[in-house]
Amino acid sequence: MNNTKVKINKLLNETNCEHNQIKLQDNKKVSCKKPPQPGAAQGNCPFEGAMVALVPITDAAHLVHGPVACTRNPWGSRGSLSSGSKLHQIGFTTDLSENDVIFGGEQKLYQAILDIAQRYNPAAVFVYSTCVTALIGDDMDTICQAAAKKIGIPVIYINAPGFLGSKNLGNRIAGEALLEHVVGTAEPEMITPFDINIIGEYNVAGEIWNVLPLLKRLGIRVLSKITGDARYQEICYAHRAKLNVVICSNVSLGMAQKIKERYGIPYIEESFYGVENMNRCLRNIAATLGDFYLQERTEWLIAEETAALDIALAPYRSRLKGKRVVLYSGGVKSWSIILAARDLGMEVIATSDRKSTKEEKAKIKQLLGQDGIVLSKGSPSALLQVLENTKADMLIAGGSNQYTALKARIPFLDINHERHHAYAGYAGMLEMAQELYEALYSPVWKQVRKPAPWDEKN
């Protein structure tokens, strides 16, 4: 995939996205590509964004062409699990040296692809450019094509060097690469009227495994998972599904739109977090597929699952009811966790609208109500101030914010992609309730909130 300025602008111009750059009638939309601000972190780069989107394809090799420091640990940072091959957990790099920067690393890249194919026999090889290889001008596209002919398996070049922009742009580049080189390149042995794709779900902590059995009980087949616990071959079949279910709109909406334009496959935007969201997701899938008996089975399944879950959640709801929570996450979690907390009797008093679409921001405002606080930026000092002002009982955020919670001396729950607990589906709802209860009622909080011995009055 050659990333010219025109191609990048196309990725940033989505007609259904609030950030599109083109003019629609008299309304000029703002750009997706946010310029860096002095003194503010830009966030993770397109290279990492592309890797976290594609590495969950478990039977493919993911080769980073650049210095070893670029590789870091992005292949493991999302916590995506596999039910089969563990090849995606191996970090491959060409480990460019100073000599390679001077004389070029094309031969090293070619040999690395051949070595990976011989030793690991992957279903495909994804090759990622970095800032260094983009700047020295290695012709990676040509090398990947030559290597693919030699080894007889797909070698896909992902041109997302770090200086291009944001992590979100890297997610989009990854989706574009799948559309150009993978989707539609093979045919499934059979198709059914109830084949769907799940787009934008990365099987963090095994979350998709909480959802797949529910769909199977309804007779719905997930033809392609893009990309959580995916196999390369199944993504090739994505063009034969009857429906795309988009989980992370900010990352995957553009891909779903283009699949609709090319193959006529409709899409719906859903969430797997919380009882209300899960019920609505199953109902919308059944309604969109348009089968009366499927809709009837869906209602039976929802009634059975919610009844069992109500019994299991009863002791947790009694202890969690009325607890006040500050939520600082991004995308689909910014609004869907509000509903999940409400299912447990908890109240989200503040959340962020980072990485959210226009529709998601509207949901956030509606769910929070007039008194709710929407955080556009969440520096540690700003979060601490909100926690103090609202008298919150808990902070739910990404792992980097756990120290903010510790400073505030309140419990913390990790909700981002580094976590080790699956919160999707009905089973995930029970898991979340257990984690919230254990965090809130840990005896450590009584200890840390006590005044120091030298501050105690005699």
The ranges assigned to domains in the chain are 5-181, 195-299, 313-447
Query: Which residue intervals of 121-166 are DSSP H helices?
Result: 131-136, 140-151
C-beta of residue 388 within 8 angstroms of C-beta of residue 382:
no
**CATH fold match for the domains 5-181 and 313-447:** yes
pLDDT of residue 39: 46
For residue 415, give the amino acid letter: I
- Record the tokens describing residue 71, joined without a space: 């590789």
Find the largest Cα–Cα distance for the chain.
82
C-beta of residue 81 within 8 angstroms of C-beta of residue 104:
no
Residue 270 banded pLDDT, cuts 50, 70, 90: very high
- Record the tokens describing residue 442, joined without a space: 């840990």
CA 321, 303, 197, 226 torsion-angle sign: positive
CA 257 to chain CA centroid, Å, is 18
Q: What 3-state DSSP class applies to 63?
A: strand
Residue 411 banded pLDDT, cuts 50, 70, 90: very high
The two beta strands, 125-129 and 155-158, are parallel
Separation of alpha carbons 398 and 164, rounded Å: 25
Predicted confidence (pLDDT) per residue in 279-316, tens digit = 999 999 999 999 999 999 999 999 999 999 999 999 99
Task: State the distance between the two ends of the chain, measured CA to CA, in whole angstroms.
Answer: 72
| Helix, strand, coil percentages in the chain from 3-state DSSP, rounded to 5 | 50, 15, 35
In terms of C-beta density within 10 A (0-12 exposed, 13-18 middle, 19 or more buried), how is residue 449 classed? Answer: exposed
For residue 217, give the amino acid letter: R
Indicate the class that CATH gives domain 313-447: alpha beta
Q: Answer whether the bond into residue 390 is a cis peptide, omega within 30°.
A: no
For residue 131, give the amino acid letter: C
pTM over 0.95: no
Predicted confidence (pLDDT) per residue in 33-60, tens digit = 455 554 445 557 889 889 989 999 999 9
Element (H, E) at 223: strand 221-227
Answer yes or no: is pLDDT of 15 > 90: no
Residue 12 banded pLDDT, cuts 50, 70, 90: low
Place of tokens 């970095």: 130
Answer yes or no: is pLDDT of 426 > 70: yes
C-alpha dihedral, 122 to 46 to 207 to 211, nearest 10°: -90
409-413 mean pLDDT: 90
CATH, domain range 195-299: 3.40.50.12380
- Record the tokens describing residue 131, joined without a space: 């800032």
Architecture category of domain 5-181 in CATH: 3-Layer(aba) Sandwich (3.40)
Long-range contacts at 118-121 (CB < 8 A, ≥ 24 apart) = 118/151, 120/61, 120/87, 120/90
Q: What 3-state DSSP class applies to 298?
A: helix
Query: Which residue intervals of 13-139 are DSSP H helices?
Result: 46-54, 68-71, 98-103, 106-120, 131-136
The two beta strands, 155-158 and 23-24, are unpaired
Answer yes or no: is pLDDT of 24 > 50: no
C-beta of residue 38 within 8 angstroms of C-beta of residue 155:
no
Q: 374 or 286: which carries more pLDDT confidence?
A: 286
Question: How large a percentage of the chain has pLDDT more than 70?
Answer: 87
pLDDT of residue 9: 66
Radius of gyration of the chain, Cα coordinates, nearest whole angstrom: 23
For residue 334, give the amino acid letter: S
C-beta of residue 197 within 8 angstroms of C-beta of residue 237:
no
Closest CA to 178 of 248, 234, 138, 113: 234
- Record the tokens describing residue 216, joined without a space: 């199977």
Closest CA to 16 of 357, 364, 361, 365: 357
Residue 445 banded pLDDT, cuts 50, 70, 90: confident
